[in-house]
Amino acid sequence: MNKNALIIVACSLLLGLLIVFFGGKKDATGSSVNNVQNTEIRDGVQYVTIYAKGGYSPKVSIAQANIPTKLIVKTNGTYDCSSALVIRSIGYQKMLSQTGEEVIDLGTPQVGKIQGLCSMGMYSFVVNFK
């Protein structure tokens, strides 16, 4: 009886820990995706980095307007259609390599949004220039 009770307590504890751990981890990942600093200005050029694999991450980026900007799209074993990238506003369409880094010149964006899509329009990302 005592042994069984102990096992039940231990199991509940373990389950609780698992929930806290994975729940917490999920939250942390979620917020870090939203708050991630994926823009960088080097030598007067702004770089915005997007990861493409099973969709695009981060889905929403915030960048500065009126600065020459390049979009870096990183793939890493990307066999899904997020490697078929379309950015309509700049007339860009390309099949990215499955693993690599694509640098796309966005010119000097004004205030507004630039949207990237997979060729099927299933996955998307937005860079919000402010």
At 123, list the tokens: 């996955």
With a CB cutoff of 8 Å and minimum separation 6, the contacts of 22 are none
Smallest distance from the beta carbon of 123 to Cu ion, in angstroms?
5
With a CB cutoff of 8 Å and minimum separation 6, the contacts of 106 are 48, 69, 70, 71, 90, 114, 127
Q: Which stretch binds Cu ion (CB under 5 A): 4-12, 64-72, 103-111, 117-125?
A: 117-125
Smallest distance from the beta carbon of 47 to Cu ion, in angstroms?
25
Q: How far apart are CA 125 and CA 41, in angstroms?
A: 20
Nearest Cα residue to 114 out of 33, 31, 40, 48:
48
At 4, list the tokens: 């069984």
96 lines the binding site for Cu ion (CB under 5 A): no
| Residues comprising the chain, all counted | 130
Q: Which of residues 57-76 bind Cu ion (CB under 5 A)?
A: none
Smallest distance from the beta carbon of 18 to Cu ion, in angstroms?
34
The one-letter amino acid code at 9 reads V
Name which position in 63, 118, 127, 129 contacts Cu ion (CB under 5 A): 118
81 lines the binding site for Cu ion (CB under 5 A): yes
122 lines the binding site for Cu ion (CB under 5 A): yes
Rg of the chain over all Cα atoms, to the nearest angstrom: 21
95 lines the binding site for Cu ion (CB under 5 A): no
Residues in contact with Cu ion, total (CB under 5 A)? 4
Smallest distance from the beta carbon of 3 to Cu ion, in angstroms?
54
Residues that bind Cu ion (CB under 5 A): 81, 118, 120, 122
